[in-house]
Amino acid sequence: MLYAILCYHSEAVVGGWSKAQDDAVMEKLDVVHQKLAAEGRLGPVARLLPTSAATTLRKDSDPPLVLDGPFAETKEQLLGFYIVDCDDLDQALEIARDLGRANPGGAYELRPIGVFHTGVLPADAGQ
């Protein structure tokens, strides 16, 4: 079974860490990552940039509405995510609109990724 582990924390607290504090946390996490990778269990890992860099596409209206900032509603739940490689935000929005046409309703939050590792999982992992 594949599991996604979603990371939550106060952005103002984490954003307030000094570079030394941040590096120390990442170093400790990396020890865990390496162990998981050696066991063949580690899939993609991403550290997202701050929510101030986020854009939200509301796809419950037609045409979908582009809003600055993160997805802020509490009446909907996180059901899945994509990672796509884009030249810029416009291209990412184009992809999100395509996906939204296939599956209207709800919203997509587009958040740039700051740190990304592909992990070691084979294509048939979890099956």
Partner 1 sequence: MSDLAWIDGALAAARPQAMAALLRYFRDLDIAEEAFQEASLRALRNWPEKGPPRDPTAWLIFVGRNAALDGVRRKAREAPLPQEVLISDLEDAEADLVERLDGADYRDDVLRLLFICCHPDLPATQQIALALRIVCGLSVAEIARAFLVGESAMEQRITRAKAKVAKAGTPFETPGAVERAERLAGVAAMIYLLFNEGYSASGGEAPLRSGLCDEAIRLGRLLLRLFPAEAEIMGLTALMLLQHARAQARFDADGAIILMEDQDRTHWNGRMIAEGLALIDKAIRHRQPGPYQIQAAIAALHARSPRAEDTDWPQIAGLYQALEHHMPSPVVTLNRAVAVSKIEGPAAALDLIEPLAGRLDAYFHFHGVRGAMLLKLERKAEAREAFDRAIALARTPAEAAHIRQHIDRLQAEAGQT
96 is an interface residue for partner 1 by CB under 8 A: no
SS3 state at 5: coil
Interface mask toward partner 1 for 69-88; x: CB under 8 A = x------------------x
Please name the residue that has the structure tokens 């020890």: 31
17 is an interface residue for partner 1 by CB under 8 A: yes
104 is an interface residue for partner 1 by CB under 8 A: no
Cα–Cα distance for residue pair 87/52, rounded to 1 Å: 19
Q: Which residue from 33, 37, 43, 51 is in contact with partner 1, where contact means CB under 8 A?
A: 51
Say which residues have a Cβ less than 8 Å from residue 88's Cβ, sequence separation at least 6: none
Q: Which is nearer to partner 1, 24 or 125 (CB)?
A: 24
CB burial of 7-28 (b: ≥16 within 10 Å; e: otherwise) equals eeeeeeeeeeeeeeeeeeeeee
- Which residues lie near partner 1 (CB under 8 A)? 10-13, 15-18, 21, 24-25, 49-53, 55, 66-69, 88-90, 112, 114-115
